[in-house]
Amino acid sequence: MGSALNVGVVGVGNISRQYFEQFPKLPNLSLTAVADLDLDRAAAVAGEQGVESMSVDALLADPRIDAVLNLTIPAAHTEVALRALAAGKHVYGEKPLALATADAAPVLACAADTGLRVGSAPDTVLGTGIQTARALLDDGRIGDPVGAAVAWTAPGHELWHPAPAFYYQPGGGPLFDMGPYYLTSLVTFFGPVVRVSGAVGRSARERTVATGPLAGTSIPVDVDTHVTALLEHANGVISTVTVSFEVWASRAPLFEVYGTAGTLAVPDPNQFSDTVSIATAADRTWQEVPVGAGYADAGRGVGLADLARAIETGRPHRASGELAFHVLEIMESIVHAGHAHEVVTLTSTVERPQAVPLGVTPESW
């Protein structure tokens, strides 16, 4: 392994904690500095992590930093990414890649022109849960895949998040917040989507912050809060997807893949290592499957570590900007299809990312 990639983090909100917990486990990444519009918060986090606190401008200009981990709110993803690329730094960001494909396209174009890398969450798909399910599919354990069904539902993030307003602005909602986990998994399983249709809606229910210093504050809702979509993959598989902030109770999230010789129960793609189960035509009882692929004991940041190793070895990185762009176009097309009541043909495509064999680490593969 070569030298570690020096990383500067822009945005130290709630999600950043999960990344900071993983940095010590990823020796090919070196946390160098943090920045945030809230300078006091950045200073406090820097003290906890034992690194420097900087302004955003200073971090982007710092020649020591090789890559920017962009953990800002969705509305700032494009601006920060373009500024980082212009400063000669690779970029890995939280999902979604941007608010719209029109915003994301210049990011990918700039990276292509400069020879820099763009990566994007979710990297949960690189863990043992989704990768074991993919290995079973690729091995033909349920025959030829025919369809998949996804349902993720909740009452809304205002019940737990101390500052949830951005979840109800463009770039949020159940589709743009939770959809990337499921859609990235579906593309990982079956390849690109070619057509989508859907229906979208929102209730008149008033949303208020339930916890923290903003408790009781009303939240304007400017996104669809209940979305159902039908996806047609290039390989002929048909996926149905429902995501919602309108459901008070449900038995469990649903993620199943149906094949000519059986069914896969896919674990929660917002997690890295939950168990896969299979029921075959020969024995229609559920059986848990031993872990068979994926980065073991992974957490948020493994996608950036995979990107660092890909730079070193000259291979494509898995949690790529191109994959995130295709997922963004899927989501954008679902919204358009739902409001226009029409089928939308996608313009982008993407290769299935390379599978992750079992027993490797991001810094060694």
pLDDT digits (tens, 9 = 90+) for 45-55: 999 999 999 99
Which residue in this structure is represented by tokens 């690109």? 192
Q: Please answer whether residues 263 and 142 qualify as being in contact, where contact means their C-beta atoms are separated by less than 8 angstroms.
A: yes
Fold of the domain spanning 5-120: Rossmann fold (3.40.50)
Element (H, E) at 139: none
pTM of the model: 0.95
- Return residue ranges of the chain for CATH 3.40.50.720: 5-120
Q: What is the pLDDT of residues 3-29, one digit of tens each?
A: 899 999 999 998 999 999 999 999 999
Judged against a pLDDT cut of 60, whether residue 270 lies above it is answered with: yes
Residues ≥6 apart with Cβ < 8 Å to 138? 355
Give the integer Cα–Cα distance in Å for 312 and 315: 8
- Is the Cβ–Cβ distance between 297 and 273 less than 8 Å? yes
Query: What CATH number does the domain located at 128-289 have?
Result: 3.30.360.10
Structure-token pair, residue 200: 């979208």
Which pLDDT does position 246 carry in this prediction?
97
CA distance 194 to 287: 33
Q: What percent of the chain has pLDDT over 90?
A: 95
Length of the chain: 365
* pLDDT higher than 60, residue 217: yes
Quote the CA–CA distance of 323 and 351 in Å, as a whole number.
8
Which CB contacts under 8 angstroms, 24+ apart, belong to 33-42?
33/8, 33/9, 33/59, 33/62, 33/65, 34/8, 34/9, 34/10, 34/59, 35/8, 35/9, 35/10, 35/11, 35/59, 36/10, 36/11, 36/12, 41/12, 42/12
